[in-house]
Amino acid sequence: MNLGSPRFSNADLDKLARSQGSLAAWRQALANDAVRALAGVTGDFAVAFIEPGGRTLMAVDRFAIRSLCYRLDEGTLRFAARVDELADASTEIDPQAIFDYLYFHVIPSPRTIYKGIFRLPPGHCAVFEKGQLTVTPYWTPTFEEQRGASFGDLKDEFRQLLHDAVTRQLDGSKAACFLSGGTDSSTVAGMVARACGKPGATYSIGFDEQGYDEMEFARLAAKHFQTEHHEYYVTPDDVVRSIPAVAAHYDQPFGNSSALPAYYCAKMARADGVSKLLAGDGGDELFGGNTRYAKQKVFGWYDHLPAGLRTGLLEPLSRSSVMNQIPLLRKGASYVNQAQVSMPDRMMTYNLLFRLGIQAMLSPELLAQVDQHDPARQQGRVWGQARTDNLLNRMLAFDWRYTLADCDLPKVVGTTDLAGVGVGFPLLDDRLLAFSQRLPPSYKLQGLKLRWFFKEALRDFLPAEIIAKKKQGFGLPFGVWANAHPALKTLAADSLYSLARRGVVRTDFVQNLLDQRLPEHPGYYGEMVWILTMLEQWLAAKAPRFSLAN
C-alpha cells in the first residue's frame, strides 16, 4: 500500500523515488531505523509493506491526510486505507466508539467503529515483527520561538512560503480551489493566480438562510482576484437526497455538518472538468484563528491573580446562591468556576453531550458498555505531548490532532473522493508548518486579536472586508431546515427513533429533542440532530442489524 505524495529530504532517496517510484524509496528509507528515517519525509502519505524477512512497516503523514487502518487476525496483520475494508460480517460494532462519536462528533484515532480494527494516528509509524506490533510517534509538535526577526522579514518569508506551497500543489490540470470567502480560502485563491500567472477557478456554496450565507465575501474575493467563479446554493431537498450517500461513503460514522456542502462544492467542480481542488484548511490551527484561543487566554488570566484572592474570596463567592441570582454576578461566578477547571477539560465544558445530559440522552444498554471518562483521558494524553510551555501553542497542537487530523481533513478528503475530485492542502505544507512552529505566540494571538500576523502580513493582498470578517465557512443550517422542511424533518425523526430502537439513545430524549428543544433553538440543538441522523444513516448502510436493545 503506497498512497499520497511523499517528499524525501534525503537526495539519494529523492532520486530513487523519481526513478523507481516512492515505494522503492520507502523500502530503502525504512529498512533500518524507521522513526529516524521518517523525520526526513514530508508531504501526504500512507505506506505499508511487508519486507522479505516478514517484518511489516506502516506509517502515515503528520496530519493523517492519508489514512491507514489495521487489524490483527490470528497473528496476521492486515492493513487497508479504509476501516470498512478490514471488516466482515462477524466484526462487531464497538459501543465505546459510538460514545466517542457522540462526544467528539467523529471517532478519533486510534479507535474505530469496529472492535479490533484501528487507525494509525497522525505522525505515527508501526512495526509488526514476530507477532508483536509496536506503534510509535515519529513526529511530535515542537515549538521553538524565533527571536530577533523583524516583522518585515517574517512577512516576506511567509508570503514566499505561501506562494511556494500553492505552487507545489498545482499538478498541471485546471487550477481550482474551494472559496468560502474566509481568510484561508481567499488567500489560496489569490496565490493560485500568482503561481499560475492567471486566475484560477473558484467554487463556493451558499444557503438561502439568514446568518448562514457567506456568498457575499466569496464574491468579493473572486472579484478581487478576478477568478473564474462558480456558485451553488444548497437547498433542503439537496440535503434530503444526499445525506444517505454522504453518510455511507465514510468508512465509519462521521458528523462534521459541513461535509455535505463541501460535497456539493466538489461535485460542482467535477462537473466543470476539475480533477483537483485546493482547500484552505489549516490556517486557523497553525496561526491562531479560532475564537476558543482568545477565550481560553482570558480564563488563563485567572491563574495570575494572587492565590489568597482566588481561594479566600472569589471561589467561595462563586459558589454562593447570591452570585447566581444577579445576571452580571452570575457571569462572574461562571468565569471563576470555569477558570478552575484545568486544560484541556475546560474546553469540554461546552460539549453538547454534557449540556444535554449523558444519563438523560443515552440508553442504559449503551451506558453499561462504555467508559464515560475515556475521551477525557485520550485528550489528556494528546494535550501533554506537544513540546512547548505556551498555552496557545499547546492548544494549536491539540487542534492539529482533533480538529484537523480527525475532523476537518477527513471531511474534505471524504467528500472530494465521493465527488471524484482530488484535493490538496497548501496551508499544511511542511515549510509553512515549520514557520508557524517558530513564530512567536504573540504574533498568532496579539492580545485577543486572532491570527494577528497572518492578517497583517496579507493586509495589502486580501480585501479589507475579508481581513475584518468573522470566521464562518460552509456551516450547514441543518437545524433550521430540519425544523421547517417536511421531508428533512421526517428523515431526521425516522433516523433518531431508529437509533432509539437500536438501544443507542432513549426514546423520551428523542421526543424531547425533536418536539421541544429543536423548535426552541434550531441552530444550537440542530447540531445534535445532525450527529444522530448521520450515525443512523451510516448504521443503516453498513451495519443494519446492529442493536444494543434487549
50-54, 277-281, 338-342, 469-473: which is most confident: 277-281
Q: Which residues contact 158 (CB under 8 A, 6 or more apart)?
A: 435, 453, 454, 457
| C-alpha to C-alpha distance for 129 and 205, rounded to whole angstroms | 48
Q: DSSP string spanning 307-376?
A: HHHIIIIIHHHHTSTTTTTSHHHHHHHHHHHHHTSPTTGGGGGG-HHHHH-HHHHB-HHHHTT--TTHHH
| Structural contact between residues 193 and 465, judged by C-beta atoms closer than 8 angstroms | no
In the chain, the amino acid numbered 89 is A
Q: For residue 174, count other CB atoms closer than 10 A to its CB.
A: 16
Cell of 463: 480585501
pLDDT at 479: 94
SS3 (DSSP) at 277: strand
From residue 403, alpha-carbon distances to 16, 103, 476 in Å are 35, 13, 18
| C-alpha to C-alpha distance for 292 and 130, rounded to whole angstroms | 46
pLDDT at 474 over 60: no
Q: DSSP string spanning 137-200?
A: ES---B-----S--HHHHHHHHHHHHHHHHHHH--SS--EEE--SSHHHHHHHHHHHHHHSS--
Mean pLDDT of the region 440-465: 95
| C-alpha to C-alpha distance for 427 and 433, rounded to whole angstroms | 8
Cell of 62: 503528520
pLDDT per residue over 37-67, tens digit each?
A: 898 899 999 999 998 888 899 999 999 999 9
Q: For residue 318, count other CB atoms closer than 10 A to its CB.
A: 21
pLDDT interval class at 34 (50, 70, 90): confident
| Structural contact between residues 88 and 96, judged by C-beta atoms closer than 8 angstroms | no
Structural domains in the chain, CATH included, are 2-137 (3.60.20.10), 151-288+404-468 (3.40.50.620), 478-542 (no CATH)
Closest CA to 369 of 546, 249, 548, 209: 548
pLDDT per residue over 77-134, tens digit each?
A: 999 999 999 999 899 999 999 999 999 999 999 999 999 999 999 999 999 998 899 9
pLDDT interval class at 265 (50, 70, 90): very high
Q: For residue 11, count other CB atoms closer than 10 A to its CB.
A: 8
Lowest mean pLDDT among 143-157, 304-318, 398-412: 304-318
Mean pLDDT of the region 460-465: 94
- Looking at the chain, the whole-number percentage of residues with pLDDT higher than 90 is 76
pLDDT at 411 over 90: yes
Q: For residue 292, count other CB atoms closer than 10 A to its CB.
A: 14
pLDDT at 471: 63
Closest CA to 42 of 433, 416, 417, 382: 433
The DSSP H or E segment spanning 456 is helix 452-457
pLDDT at 400 over 80: yes
The DSSP H or E segment spanning 42 is strand 41-50
How close are the terminal C-alpha atoms of the chain, in Å? Answer: 41
Closest CA to 335 of 310, 357, 358: 310
| C-alpha to C-alpha distance for 504 and 251, rounded to whole angstroms | 20
pLDDT interval class at 311 (50, 70, 90): confident
| Structural contact between residues 113 and 104, judged by C-beta atoms closer than 8 angstroms | no
